[in-house]
Chains A and B, each alone.
Chain A
Amino acid sequence: MADGAATDARGNGITGVIPILFAGALFVYFMSLVPTVASLEAIRWSVPWIPSLGIEFAFLVDGLSLTFCLLIAGIGTLVLLYSNTYLAGHPQYARFALFLTAFMVSMLGLVLADDLILLFVFWELTTLTSYMLIGFSHEAEKSRRNALQALFVTGAGGLAFLAGLILLAAASGTTSISGIIAQGDGLKAHAMYLPILILLLAGTFTKSAQVPFHFWLPNAMAAPTPVSAFLHSATMVKAGVYVMARMHPAMSGTDVWLWTLTILGAITAVFASLLSLRQTDLKQALAYTTLMALGTLTLFLGQESGYAMTAFATFLIVHSLYKAALFLIVGCIDKSTGTRETDQLGGLGRLMPITAIAAALAATSMAGFPPFLGFIGKELKYAGAIAVASEPIFVAGAVLLSNALMLAVAGVVAFRPFWRGQVGTGQSPKEAPWQMLAGPVILAILGALFGIYPDLLQVALVNPTVLSLTGEVEEAKELQLWAGVNIPLFLSIATFVLGLAIYAAHVKIRAMLDRGFNAIPNLDLKWDGFLDGLKALAAWQTRLVQTGKLSSYLFATFFTIAAGIILTLAYTGMPPLAADFSDVEWKHTSIAALICAGALLTLFTSSRIAAIAALGVVGIGIALIFIVFSAPDVAITQLLVETLIVVLVAVVMLRLPSLPKATFNLKHAVLSVAVGASITLMLIEVVATPLDLRLTEYFEVTSWPEAYGRNIVNVILVDFRALDTFGEIAVVVIAALSAYALLRTTRKGDQQ
């Protein structure tokens, strides 16, 4: 289960260190921006990128983006530090670090971008890099499948998202995000508001793995644990949340916004918590709690109240801290015990004390116990829920239930493996090296620190974030451990009770949940079916169209020709046929009859010689037309070519078998007649109109005086239109060379 990771003392050398330093430097850089942002200023930087489309290379640092940046760069640094040990000596570590760093940068770009299209560029880059990361253990079938699944689902959402962005840009006349926000409420009244919203949400919901698109996220745990810690705690899955938050000022406040986000967020939160409780794999359990967090964040974004916004900002940070810590801890456990199954783990507390303490800190924050930031977050959540104007009970209920479940899961994940009785795993687990412990410990401590000193967060990040979300810093509510005896406190107590009860009974509940969930359609199981269906559809269609049979291709092509011409004739309304036979002489009729007879003989004969002779007759007939209608050069050429054709066919036929009997095929006959008739009809219509002879007259009067030739046809060929002739002889040369090559490439005897 240990991601195929090979611990190797040799480490990863410079490829391991540089990314860490890089990420660390970024973190430090973003830290340096905190004072500016804390003073409620935003920094915008832009250069034109594609001016002709109005697209800028623009970045904006404000509370919201800086919060994300710090989480991304900070956790990124710790994760890279962790990974360098976790995957020490892995032959593909350089790629891993590259992808992870690239992902981090993309993510930073995403949250900093102040241009819709730029944002989308980074959005897709995170999709792409995460695809590479999820499929990191690429030799395993499952990794590949899950990587594709993640890519496909988020990619599909991404395309809808793109459509939404394009419409959004069109509706607001700019691709600048701050520009759109500055336009105020105009967007909400725009006719395209609803389609834009739906399309954007399709993107964010898939990216944030909201129900019902949640199924890819647990599968994405196929990635190495540090990847899970990074992507699925602080970063990628929060990209969707970020975009909803970013668009909050411009798009929130409508009923659609409110209800869509609230209901889907709530459903995701509860549903994911239940799913989480059901898991026995630590990583999977954590993955679903991430979903729960995302649901909760979405739910809050549906609202407009300051409480909700503050709750959002706080919980965003809380969750990132403890979730990353727990993922990393799970990695440590996995690495030292070789398993992530809860049932096989226990008694690790004594063997891995530091890990255990970090786990305990993170888990209590997650469970929402004071004095951790988690508690503050939870309190604010309840406050936010109650502040929901229309349906506080529903929202509060959902939050309560999910929080209780979360508490139980925290126990399952971070308490049981360490503090319940010893379970033999056959290995002797020991503490992970410091590089791997640094992350969980720091993150866990931060959770506690911010709980005790919430003002740090309040000023530095929460207030600016709320400003970004609402436009008014006054909306930000105070972060405090003790807010007095109020409804949130009662709800907190209820949460503890309920949560502990669930934890106590979680094994039984799990069995119940299994039965329940088995009854619900599982999109993950449908995924393979979906892919199979897609393949089947593709195969069916391809069988239908690309039959591999020339006859059907030709039939389709001729059918298109006939149908195209006839239907167009019908559409345009065919002018009356002007069939003028007055100047037809018997000679003409005879020649026409000869040609037709030759053509029909070719058609009906089963004798090759008769067919060739009949072709000769047609050729002769056509030469006769050229003779009668004053084209001696053409006639000569026609006769020469016809002769050569007969000679070539006669040579080739020496090796070919005789013709099969000509059979009659009504379908083919009808089509043939239709094609023939359509050409005839067009030609009759064409010749009924007068012909402009400008060109010919020019040739006639210039041929001798200017081009010194009396044979106008030849002068056209070698002078007026010499380029045609040149191309034509090129065709002849190439035909000869090609045919020669074809004859020579495979000698006789190469036959199968």
Chain B
Amino acid sequence: MSWLLALPIAIPFLTAVATFLTRDMPVGRWLSIIGSAILLAASIVLMNTVLREGVIAGQMGGWAAPFGITLVADLLSAVMVLITAIVAVAVSIYALADVDEKMERLGYHALFNMLIAGVVGAFVTGDLFNLYVWFEVMLIASFGLLVLGGRPEQIDGGVKYVALNLVSTIMFLTGIGLLYGMTGTLNMADLASAVDTADQQLLTVVAVLFMIAFGVKAAVFPLFFWLPASYHTPAFSVSAVFAGLLTKVGVYALLRMFTLVFDHDTAFTHTILLWVAGFTMVVGVLGAAAQSDMRKILSFHIVSQIGYMILGLALLTPLAIVGAVFYLVHHIVVKANLFLIAGVAQRIAGGTELSRIGGLYKSAPFLAVLFVIPAFSLAGFPPLSGFWAKFLLVKATLEIEAWFIAFIALAVGLLTIYSMTKIWAQAFWEPHPDGVEPKLSKLSTRERNAFLIPIAGLAILTVIIGTMPEPFVQFAERSAAQLLDPTPYITAVLGEQP
């Protein structure tokens, strides 16, 4: 078990080492793809095992929980690892055409793989401090990737990104210190029961501190500023990974901690989350409406969509958690893909600023098709993945008669449509202002393949989730059941409790 859990972390690290040592050679990029593929294989095995055997845990160093560090995978963790691997494969292929040699020599592949390692680590760890460590791995790698290339706007975005994320990191660390000081343990499964004997009032306060720390990572209102300030600046491969994965780690952490550990005063904590969700959705989507750059629009939409996931957590009904889990998976696939597409648009049409480009529908119809799928999935059109995600959440809100938040969720959906059609109308339909014909044939065959294969792959995944949602819904249901009743999780980590 322990190997199954450790390999998804070890593989990207080994890949990083290999790519770094070969960074002056052209094999680095292929190593990166191979490494991601192996990671994918490992995560499929992991997923398969979790599906078959339920929650699995491995004690690192062979030290029993809660003394050593436990890696643990329930369905949520497993699917997050799997989806991370999928995105990693897609982006490392995409990088063949997107990342130039200069960036490669500066260690792009190593940073990328370490970022993936950090993300995976955060998903499979069962230890709070270890979670902090993986957050940092991820964070520092993202710092590097964000500014790689060193264009002035990258630096500007980087300053904001770094500053605000550092604040969050420190708060997280402080929170860990306080929680340890209250309970004497760091193992999350152990914490679940240890908090029961702690001072409940104080626990609520610490919970809020964690909520804020993770809230920054997840980019919720009013802590999301770093995201729209920076996500449009780095290389497209980079922003695709960021858009797909990074905020989701924050959401994952919230989901985990606020179902497993901080479930003592949900009337308070989850009500806050509900408000946060509402504001996040609205502010994000309005932010997007105010933008005129493709990547900026997409960035603000990340914020908005995070609101939906938080909404699922806030409602805390089985169906709502199902929705949140489904949303999480759907959004990673779709949002990463949209950023990848933006990269192709930039390459062939000459930019991402909507008023400066156009003609993609006429000249690059295949790209248009590939755009429509994730874009309308994001907007929640059936039968694409986003529809089911939204459907589940709206159903969950309506079931508990939370009319207002349901209205918000739906209205935000409408504004999402507005934004997606804005991109569609201005970048695809509208003729190019300079009369350029942005054809895909401008790209070399190698570039075209590297760009379009991952995009098409993710688009197909979106369609598959959308048209055959049953296994995914079932999966999300099982996953939600595990989150809402963490007994198997705790048992897997700590063994049978008296």
Contact = CB atoms under 8 A, between A and B. Distances in A.
A162 B129 CA distance: 43
A671 to B, nearest CB: 13
B69 interface: yes
Interface residues of B, number: 116
B178 A121 contact: no
Interface stretch (B193-201, B246-254, B332-340): B193-201
B7 to A, nearest CB: 13
A686 B178 contact: yes
B356 to A, nearest CB: 17
Interface stretch (B49-57, B58-66, B343-351, B490-498): B58-66
Contacts of B216: 557
Given A564-B209, A692-B185, A166 B137 contact: no
B34 interface: no
A338 to B, nearest CB: 23
Contacts of A93: none
A167 B406 CA distance: 12
Nearest to B152: A752
Contacts of B289: 534-535, 538
A685 B202 contact: yes
Interface string A695-733: 110110010000000000000000111111001101101
Contacts of B283: 541, 545
Given A163-B410, A682-B205, A682-B206, A723 B130 contact: yes
A44 interface: no
Interface in A542-571: 542, 545-546, 548, 550, 553-554, 556-558, 560-561, 564-565, 568-569, 571
A685 B198 CA distance: 11
Interface stretch (B84-92, B306-314, B456-464, B469-477): B469-477
Interface residues of A, number: 102
B362 A92 contact: yes
B421 A734 contact: no
Given A162-B391, A564-B209, A742-B150, A541 B286 contact: yes
B182 A162 contact: no
Contacts of A738: 111, 140-141, 143-145, 147-148
A578 to B, nearest CB: 11
Contact of A537 (B20, B107, B286, B469): B286
Given A546-B228, A727-B121, A734-B140, A561 B171 contact: yes
A155 B382 CA distance: 12
B106 A744 contact: yes
Contacts of B117: 730
A735 to B, nearest CB: 5
Contact of B144 (A125, A141, A692, A734): A734
Interface in B121-136: 121, 125, 127, 129-130, 133-134, 136
B404 interface: no
Contact of B164 (A147, A557, A702): A557
B316 interface: no
Nearest to A571: B268
Contacts of B399: 170
Contacts of A389: none
Interface string B353-373: 000000001100100000000
Contacts of B429: 135, 138-139, 143-144
A553 B417 contact: no
B8 interface: no
A553 B39 CA distance: 37
B159 interface: yes
B148 to A, nearest CB: 5
B167 A558 contact: yes
A192 B264 CA distance: 33
A744 B103 CA distance: 10
B211 interface: yes
Given A125-B382, A569-B205, A682-B209, A730 B149 contact: no
Interface stretch (A46-54, A179-187, A233-241, A264-272): A46-54
Contacts of A50: 388, 469-470, 473
Nearest to B392: A53
Nearest to B383: A121
A148 interface: yes
A683 B178 contact: yes
Contacts of B208: 564-565, 568
A160 interface: yes
Contacts of A141: 430
A737 B398 contact: no
A243 interface: no
Given A163-B406, A163-B410, A723-B69, A548 B229 contact: yes
Contacts of A557: 164, 167-168, 216, 222-223, 225
A53 B150 CA distance: 49
Nearest to A564: B208
Contacts of A127: 381
Secondary structure at the A interface, as helix, strand, loop or mixed, is helix
Contacts of A568: 204-205, 208, 268
B44 interface: no
A730 B138 CA distance: 10
Contacts of A124: 381-382, 387
A39 B217 CA distance: 64
A546 B411 contact: no
A516 interface: no
Contact of B473 (A52, A162, A752): A52
Given A546-B225, A572-B202, A734 B365 contact: no
B178 A727 contact: no
Considering residues A131, A160, A546, A722, which has the most beta carbons from chain B within 10 angstroms of its beta carbon? A546
Contact of A731 (B13, B137, B473): B137
Contacts of A599: none
A128 B383 CA distance: 11
A321 B69 CA distance: 74
Interface string A658-702: 000000000000000000000100110111010111111011001
B68 interface: yes
B287 interface: yes
A740 interface: yes
A173 to B, nearest CB: 12
A156 interface: yes
A575 interface: yes
Contact of A724 (B110, B133, B148, B168): B133
Nearest to A141: B430
Given A151-B417, A542-B290, A565 B205 contact: yes
Contacts of A467: none
Considering residues A542, A548, A557, which has the most beta carbons from chain B within 10 angstroms of its beta carbon? A557
A546 B212 CA distance: 18
Contacts of A727: 118, 121, 130, 133-134, 136-137
B413 interface: yes
A105 B477 CA distance: 32
A539 interface: yes
Contacts of B361: 138
A564 B212 contact: yes
A571 B289 CA distance: 36
A170 B229 contact: no
Contacts of A166: 391, 394-395, 398
A564 B69 CA distance: 31
Contact of B413 (A159, A537, A722, A752): A159
A198 to B, nearest CB: 12
A9 interface: no
12 contacts: A147-B425, A542-B287, A545-B287, A556-B223, A568-B204, A682-B202, A689-B202, A723-B133, A727-B121, A737-B107, A738-B144, A742-B150
Given A692-B184, A752-B152, 12 more contacts: A124-B381, A139-B431, A151-B421, A152-B417, A163-B394, A538-B290, A568-B208, A689-B181, A721-B68, A724-B69, A724-B129, A738-B144
8 closest Cβ pairs, A-B complex: A738-B144, A692-B184, A745-B150, A138-B429, A727-B133, A572-B201, A538-B289, A553-B225
